Chain A
Amino acid sequence: MAKKATGFVKLQVPAGKANPAPPVGTALGPHGINIMAFCKEFNARTQNQDGIILPVEVTIFSDKSFTFILKTPPAAVLLKKELGLEKGSGVPNRTKVGKVTRAQLRKIAEIKLPDLNTDNIDSAIAMIAGAARSMGIEVTD
């Protein structure tokens, strides 16, 4: 018999750095799950991602067991990390904050692919290029 899901919590947590203090504790505590077990597993699964902020979706079941899905970081976060940028441009059509190559776009597209509504790497690259332009990042070859 399938277990009944009784709770769903969305969090953004730095890779490898989950700890039971708030807000992880406050978000998961009321569901009665073992917070430390969540932190231990999250940290083990994300330790190699260098502290980047990761969206994570936790599903809690009626027997207080839980499972979680890691999402890929937002395209903007990946672009900023790849290019070493502080932030995007306030006026993206006029002020450019950086340049991204096709190879860099492909690298990010490959990371994002599991969460995009396409299996085609070229469509994924086009989406990342769109996100880059909207942040004032120039796409070069």
Chain B
Amino acid sequence: MRLAPDAQAVTAARWVSLRIEAQEGEVREHTIQMLMDGGAGAVQEVGSALLTHLLEGAELDALCDALATAGASVERTALGEVDWSTRWVTRVGVQRIGRIAVAPPWLSGEIADADIQILIEPAMAFGTGEHETTRGVLALMQSLVEPGALVADLGSGSGVLAIAAAKLGAGRVVAIEMDPDAIGNAIENVEMNGVVPRVTVLQGDAAALLPLVAPVSLILANIISSVILELSPVMARALPSGGRAVISGILVTEREQLLSSLRADGWLLEYELREGEWWSSVIARQ
């Protein structure tokens, strides 16, 4: 297997690591709460120590002051160029789903025989083609993209589904994503796959942006069940009668409950697919 040329650090932002000794009990819980309130995305527990990482700045300084006032001993270390997010990237391989093949750029040669080839630079965005949920949508959408159609991809992540829609013949695809970290990666992937004029990447809330591009003829939404449910009325209004959405990011255990809510919103289940613990499906507006 070939490896990535050099997996560069994804971001140049300056991260600082904080390590705090905290005994079990309320003080520890309180310290964790302070770290979260102070901007930490999560806390790692290493023995009795708490470890987290924050970006340099005023918020971090304020947090350190607050921790010191609370009597905590804080070990603060600036992180150098750390390859913390890309190590798994070297293991990203080729994915084949029906007529579509997805690969990282350095394996482009291995998918040259595929009908539809998609290159995705693995980064901080969801959707390298490896995940069951991405594969589920790629499988289900293949027969649903009409030539020249307008397609919306909600929660587009790396842009993999939007690119697939364009390559399957869509006339225009609007990829909507909230996460600012994913936008750059999506634009890079859209350019690399040569679908620039047809795929537009928009940063923002799908509930606000989808009505602005409606009516669309197909919606792709690989998100999470609670968000899909929230978006369900907005999606229904954006589609013509009989219009379809491919939904994923749903656990098999959530199927029943999600389906009954979707039925109440006027959706019919047309097709479903299960891989591991993930469930993907095609739903249609009545």
- Co-assembled chains A and B: yes
Segment at the B interface, from A33-41, A101-109, A111-119, A120-128? A33-41
A20 within 8 A of B: yes
| Contact pick for B85, options A10, A14, A35, A47, CB 8 Å | A35
Asked if residues B124 and A134 are in contact (CB atoms below 8 Å), the reply is no
Inter-chain contacts of B52 with A (CB < 8 A)? 22-23
Expressed in whole angstroms, the Cα–Cα distance for A9 and B44 within the complex equals 8
Asked if residues A23 and B225 are in contact (CB atoms below 8 Å), the reply is no
Within A1-45, the residues touching B (CB, 8 Å) are 9-14, 16-27, 29-30, 32-37, 39-41, 43-45
User: How many A residues face the partner with a CB closer than 8 A?
Assistant: 44
Given known contacts A19-B41, A21-B124, A74-B29, A64 and B88 CB-to-CB distance under 8 angstroms: yes
Given known contacts A25-B85, A47-B226, A48-B226, A40 and B91 CB-to-CB distance under 8 angstroms: no
Interface size class of B (residues with CB under 8 A): 35 or more
Asked if residues A40 and B251 are in contact (CB atoms below 8 Å), the reply is no
Inter-chain contacts of A34 with B (CB < 8 A)? 88, 91, 130-131
How far is the CB of B266 from the nearest CB of chain A, in Å?
Answer: 23
Inter-chain contacts of B88 with A (CB < 8 A)? 29, 32-35, 64
A contacts with B: majority SS = mixed
Inter-chain contacts of A135 with B (CB < 8 A)? 26
| Contact pick for B131, options A29, A32, A37, CB 8 Å | A37
| Contact pick for B41, options A21, A40, A47, A64, CB 8 Å | A21
Asked if residues B33 and A26 are in contact (CB atoms below 8 Å), the reply is no
1/0 per residue, CB under 8 A from A, across B230-263: the answer is 0000000000000000000111001000000000
How far is the CB of B107 from the nearest CB of chain A, in Å?
Answer: 16
| Contact pick for A20, options B32, B124, B251, CB 8 Å | B124
How far is the CB of B136 from the nearest CB of chain A, in Å?
Answer: 12
Asked if residues A40 and B87 are in contact (CB atoms below 8 Å), the reply is no
Expressed in whole angstroms, the Cα–Cα distance for A77 and B30 within the complex equals 9
| Contact pick for B91, options A22, A27, A32, A134, CB 8 Å | A32
Within B117-174, the residues touching A (CB, 8 Å) are 124-126, 128, 130-131, 133
Inter-chain contacts of B36 with A (CB < 8 A)? 14, 53
Asked if residues B87 and A20 are in contact (CB atoms below 8 Å), the reply is no
Asked if residues A47 and B91 are in contact (CB atoms below 8 Å), the reply is no
Within B78-103, the residues touching A (CB, 8 Å) are 79, 82-88, 91
Inter-chain contacts of B251 with A (CB < 8 A)? 44-45
Inter-chain contacts of B64 with A (CB < 8 A)? none
Inter-chain contacts of A36 with B (CB < 8 A)? 124-126, 128, 131
Asked if residues B84 and A12 are in contact (CB atoms below 8 Å), the reply is no
Expressed in whole angstroms, the Cα–Cα distance for A134 and B29 within the complex equals 14
Inter-chain contacts of A35 with B (CB < 8 A)? 85, 88
- Chain A: CB-nearest residue to B227: A47
- Chain A: CB-nearest residue to B222: A40
Inter-chain contacts of A26 with B (CB < 8 A)? 17, 44, 53, 82, 84
Asked if residues B84 and A22 are in contact (CB atoms below 8 Å), the reply is yes
Which of A10, A29, A44, A45 has the largest count of B CB atoms less than 10 A from its CB? A44
Inter-chain contacts of B30 with A (CB < 8 A)? 87-88
A76 within 8 A of B: yes
Asked if residues B131 and A24 are in contact (CB atoms below 8 Å), the reply is no
Asked if residues B249 and A44 are in contact (CB atoms below 8 Å), the reply is yes
Expressed in whole angstroms, the Cα–Cα distance for A11 and B196 within the complex equals 40
How far is the CB of A129 from the nearest CB of chain B, in Å?
Answer: 15
Binding site for B on A (CB under 8 A): 9-14, 16-27, 29-30, 32-37, 39-41, 43-45, 47-48, 53, 55, 64, 74, 76-77, 87-88, 134-135
Binding site for A on B (CB under 8 A): 15, 17, 26, 29-30, 32-33, 36, 40-46, 51-53, 79, 82-88, 91, 124-126, 128, 130-131, 133, 179, 181, 224-227, 249-251, 254, 277
List the 3 closest pairs (A to B, CB-CB), nearest first.
A22-B53, A10-B45, A13-B42
